Amino acid sequence: MKKVIFSAAALMLASAFSFAGTPETKTEAKAKPEVKTSSTVYHYTSESTAPGAFANTANWSEGPSDNPTCGSYNNKPCEITADDAADLSSMLNGQSNSNVLLITDRNRQ
């Protein structure tokens, strides 16, 4: 009878240790894979230099610029890199023209 009680107690103790730890602590040890998003280049399509024009997302189109002066001057923005259209909007929102020129990848005439 003592062997049965001892065996049952040992079995219960072993079961308790196998479930030790909460699900949260068991999963914390696993590293989560980092998801990388691809960036998109946008180019300035307008000729306007009016205040706020550079920050207007309607003046930007997805894709690299085919303007030959892109990267040569500092009068207008040329290209900017963003994660997506929402990121572009966030980057440009409320910026003055001079601030947009500072954050763009390349400027143009």
pLDDT in tens, 48-70: 999 999 999 999 999 999 988 88
Number of domains into which the chain is organized: 1
Element holding 4 (H helix, E strand): helix 2-18
Residue 79 region by backbone torsions, left for phi larger than 0, else alpha for psi between -120 and 50, else beta: beta
Residue 18 lies in a domain: no
Residue 15 lies in a domain: no
Strands of the sheet with 106-108, listed across from one edge = 60-62, 40-44, 76-82, 106-108
Residue 6 lies in a domain: no
Residue 13 lies in a domain: no
Domain containing residue 58: 40-108
Residue 42 pLDDT > 70, yes or no?
A: yes
Residue 54 lies in a domain: yes
pLDDT at 72: 84
Query: In this predicted structure, which of 17-21, 76-80, 95-99 has the lowest mean pLDDT?
Result: 17-21
Distance CA 4, CA 109 (A): 91
Residue 85 lies in a domain: yes
Q: What's the average model confidence in pLDDT over 78-106?
A: 95
Residue 56 lies in a domain: yes
**What pTM does this model have?**
0.65
